[in-house]
Structure 1
Amino acid sequence: MNRRRFLTAAGTTLAATSLTGTAAHAAPRPAPPVPGERSAAELREWFAATYRSVMAMTSDFGLAADKIDVSATGTPTPSVQTSPTNIGCGLWSTAAAGGLGVIPAATMRERLARTVSAVERLERAHGWWFNWYDAHDGSVLTTWPESGDPVRPFLSTVDNAWLVTGLRIAAHASPELRPRVAALLADAHWSYYYTPYDPNDPVAGPGQLRGGFWPDKPGKGEPTGHHYGALNTEPRMASYLGIADGSLPGEHYWHLFRTLLPGMGQEQTPEGAYRTIDGVNVWEGHYTYRGRKLVPTWGGSMFEALMVPLFVPEPEWSSHSWGLNHRRYVRSQIEDGLVQEKYGYWGFSPAGVPEGGYDVYGVDEIGMQEDGYFPRAVVTPHASFLALPQAPVEALANLRALDQDFGAYDDRYGFRDSVNVETGRVSDFVLALDQGMIAAALAQHLHPGLLQGPFRTGGFQSKVRPLLEKERFSI
């Protein structure tokens, strides 16, 4: 499965279940009222089923694998491969299960300790974890299990960010793990990925993070040809972690693009103005979609915009910029599915292809990439769960419709990964990343702040929060 990447090419631009579905292009259904008690009970049931899928994906070695096929009877077999992101998802899902009382606290601590023990045994380079391991023995993958193709070991910025996120949550949930997690992170300096800002050559020195390195070359290794330049994308979690622990300068935040600069090739011609913040000349640009001003993501997908605030309280610390933008972004996704495309359903984000494989989906007009992601009638449940804070009534109505009309949910392992709402085809798989987002979103809805403890104190409070409070998107 190809991993998703959201990046700006700074160097070149400056920088199978049965058909049970309804007919295509169904009329938008009105969102019913959401009774509080019924919703809470339903969401807890959904969380329990989602967590069962996470545990079904977890190998005896202790690592959450990439995916499982849940279409057959019996217990599904985890895939061979896992990534740092998958492992992080398993950690925070277990912490959430303990915090919500779905599993006993002692079970939570035992499972977290088992995974941390597995992580301690994984081979690393330059303090960072490789992108693909065998989930069953922890060896670095050099051959792709499903095809036999060679895999060149890689150190991914964004995937390591989600593992570090999971480790910090595990240490917060189980204090006896704190010394072990601290030891794991002692050599993980985000400066490894950072290219300092060079005002004389901002293309070569953009003040941004590389996508990663292949460490099989001398020195730091061979870097990717791109940096993660867009601000409103998933890799900003790495930026926040590095700023918080002091391995990245605070000015790095202001060198990320709200939109690409005027004159750069991008999906829309941006509007906005330059503003000097902390000595950095920042282009505070925005796009307009259906009359709504917003800061776009790279590809127009849900998880780029809304995975990070499951952990970092962006809407609280930046209510008139990040908080407003998140609401407008969700509203744009809803209107794209129900009004513009007239699918009758919404929620577009990278996910498994129902017919097999993996692809990227999004709303093209709210992404910067010129040949951006498109809905193509594939809806993924994790996108609705990410929208719970901004549109709970609409999100629950959409999820219930996906279940009622397509059978996208079962009480063994939760929601399937995706649905083609034109053909009715439902994916046979659940993916660790997408189930991890669902688990975190449900935890945040049922127990606000449950997974946010490590990201509300220390450097997040003293270094990241002041940056977000200064943010003034031109929306």
Structure 2
Amino acid sequence: MTANISRRTLLTATGSVALIGATSGTTYAGTPDPGALLKGNWRPTQADRALVGRWARDTWRSLVAMTDEKTGLPADNIGDSVTNPVRSRYTSPTNIGGYLWSTVVARHLGIISPQESYRRITQTLTTMTKVDHHDPSGMYFNWYDESTGEVLYTDPDGTKPITPFVSSVDNGWFAAALMVVRNAEPGARALADSLLKKMNFAFYYNPAARPGGLMRGGFFETSPPDEETDKGNHAGVGPDVYYRKFHYDTCNTEARIAPYIGFALGQVPHTQYFATYRTFPDSCDWSWVEQRPKGVHRTYLGLDVFEGTYSYRGMRLVPSWGGDMFESLMPDLFIPESKWAPRSWGINHPLTVRAHIEHGMDDAKYGYWGFSPASNPRGGYSVYGVDAIGMDPGGYPSDLEATNFDAGFEGCREGVNPNPTFGDGVVTPHAAFLAMQYAPRQAIDNLSRIEKNLKAYAGGGFYDSVAVRSGLIAKRYLALDQAMVLGAIGNVFAGDVIRRNFSSRQVEQRIRPLIAMEQFESGLE
């Protein structure tokens, strides 16, 4: 990749666009490269660049509207107005990180000037040097008031008191943004490094949780009155903390960003990667999940790994927890997983995208596709996914009716609903943007129809979700979802800008050999 070339006119003028993750036609486990099956010989047209450029500019407008002018912190969400925004009055480390990497993308797409990018990034980072946080670990609490930077002691709904929580995955996304910023914005490097160098992901790593160790969900600085915790200190730095009794024990979720950062910083051992499940075991003891996995056992770094897969429409793939695009593909915005791990993620990611396309177009017959947790068109927030490629027995549904798929567990129990009839499908535009890396033509066409036919678009870009049959629209913008939109556009249309700035030589040396050694059993049946 070429380094840091100007992208000011890339989306609106003629010129070449680097194809990210170009496919080689290599086959693994007898399966043609799934990326090639979807991407083909796609090259963006001038119309593609103009259309996606408009989407990027409007999406950036929503993030500007979310961001407090004094603190530089984005709200978690706003309503449908970007000219008179009503901000949520709370934010998180993930939201703040999303705003930072979105600023980098906006600069590289020519939406804002280098001067404005520098001003915005340094404003936000300066605020983060001042906010209250867990000092021994360098980690940030889950909720802050975006207008003041103060830690919240009442939940975001304003209904009950909370004990501030220090989340591994939220801090993982913030750290990932810092790693992008320090390379993309040299003037802010010292400031970004000053925050990153304090962050110690060893606080989350529990070596006793399973052979190889697992990452904790997070901890409290003080004991919460309403929750049983494990008192301890895995890092051995500072006073004991109060760990939530939860570990991330599956591989294909967004939570893998935290150990990735831990590997990159030399704070978490590589065995953690292989300690997580690809699927749960294929014994009747685990028959409460929605289908029986098939796979083989392989050994990596001395650990036995069951390379299990689920089946969907002639594909075998490693499921995420909910079957949604966010869990599978958001870490791929930063780590070029398909390139670095061609025998695992390089097969699984394109198949996940294909599964979403076929679910929306052929299985449920919604006419649209892309499913991920988002605002519910009826109000509130809900999870959405392709249930058949998720491990959650409760299911991440793809419709408003919460239709649940359950194929049963072969040889142990019969399925409850192996052939569901789907209702009012809910598509989430950010999911289709995440898929653009692997199915650009299909993603652009799908999003164009969502804008034109479903009218789920306004001055801040795509609304958060839309129900395809009733036409109900969740008319609000979420910082994280809009940041995923810009991150995806930045990688596909601005020379892998997020991945390129995240993946320094040291980062590549500490992550690439690890994930390259694995072979999933994903492929076509």
Specify if TM > 0.5.
yes
Structure 2: gaps of 5 or more residues: 1-41, 224-230, 232-238, 400-424
The answer for the alignment partner of 1:23 in structure 2 is none
- Distance in 2, Cα, partners of 1:355 & 1:364: 20
- Which structure has more RCO (C-alpha within 8 Å, separation ≥ 6)? 1
Whether the aligned pair in 2 keeps the contact of 1:98 and 1:108 (CA below 8 Å) is yes
Structure 1 residue 59 and structure 2 residue 82: aligned?
Answer: no
Structure 1 residue 316 and structure 2 residue 339: aligned?
Answer: yes
The answer for the alignment partner of 2:269 in structure 1 is 249
TM-aligned CA deviation for residue 227 of structure 1: 0.7
Structure 1 residue 121 and structure 2 residue 121: aligned?
Answer: no
Whether the aligned pair in 2 keeps the contact of 1:455 and 1:461 (CA below 8 Å) is no
Residue from 67, 89, 95 that aligns with 2:104: 95
Residue from 418, 423, 428 that aligns with 2:465: 418
The answer for the alignment partner of 2:327 in structure 1 is 304
SS in 2 for 1:452: helix
User: Which residue identity does 1:214 align to in structure 2?
Assistant: F
Cα distance per residue 1:315-365 (max 9 Å; x no partner): 111123211101111111111111111111111100001121001011111
Cα distance per residue 1:351-385 (max 9 Å; x no partner): 00112100101111101111121011111100110
User: Which residue identity does 2:216 align to in structure 1?
Assistant: R
- Aligned 1:181-220 pairs, distance under 5 A: 181-197=192-208, 202=210, 207-217=213-223, 219-220=239-240
TM-aligned CA deviation for residue 216 of structure 1: 0.9
Residue from 470, 482, 499 that aligns with 1:452: 499
Whether the aligned pair in 2 keeps the contact of 1:240 and 1:460 (CA below 8 Å) is no
- Distance in 1, Cα, partners of 2:372 & 2:502: 25
- Distance in 1, Cα, partners of 2:484 & 2:392: 24
Change (3 A) 1:458 1:197: farther
SS in 2 for 1:404: helix
Whether the aligned pair in 1 keeps the contact of 2:463 and 2:474 (CA below 8 Å) is yes
- Distance in 1, Cα, partners of 2:157 & 2:307: 44
- Aligned 1:404-443 pairs, distance under 5 A: 404-410=452-458, 412-443=459-490
- Aligned 1:12-161 pairs, distance under 5 A: 36-60=45-69, 61-70=71-80, 72=81, 74-125=83-134, 126-144=137-155, 146-161=157-172
TM-aligned CA deviation for residue 149 of structure 1: 2.1
Whether the aligned pair in 2 keeps the contact of 1:144 and 1:151 (CA below 8 Å) is yes
- Distance in 2, Cα, partners of 1:349 & 1:134: 26
TM-aligned CA deviation for residue 470 of structure 1: 0.5
SS in 2 for 1:400: helix
- Distance in 2, Cα, partners of 1:138 & 1:206: 37
SS in 2 for 1:285: strand
Q: CA RMSD in A?
A: 1.6
Structure 1: gaps of 5 or more residues: 1-32
- Distance in 2, Cα, partners of 1:149 & 1:354: 25
User: Which residue identity does 2:76 align to in structure 1?
Assistant: D
TM-aligned CA deviation for residue 448 of structure 1: 2.5
SS in 1 for 2:267: coil
- Distance in 1, Cα, partners of 2:322 & 2:208: 25
User: Which residue identity does 1:466 align to in structure 2?
Assistant: P
- Distance in 1, Cα, partners of 2:271 & 2:91: 34
- Distance in 2, Cα, partners of 1:159 & 1:127: 13
- Distance in 2, Cα, partners of 1:170 & 1:456: 12
TM-aligned CA deviation for residue 73 of structure 1: 7.9
Whether the aligned pair in 1 keeps the contact of 2:371 and 2:427 (CA below 8 Å) is yes
The answer for the alignment partner of 1:233 in structure 2 is 253
Identity of aligned residues (%): 42
- Distance in 2, Cα, partners of 1:239 & 1:246: 10
Whether the aligned pair in 2 keeps the contact of 1:85 and 1:162 (CA below 8 Å) is yes
- Distance in 1, Cα, partners of 2:297 & 2:392: 22
The answer for the alignment partner of 1:174 in structure 2 is 185
Cα distance per residue 1:73-125 (max 9 Å; x no partner): 84212210000000000000001111111111111111100010111111111
SS in 2 for 1:435: helix
- Distance in 2, Cα, partners of 1:179 & 1:261: 46
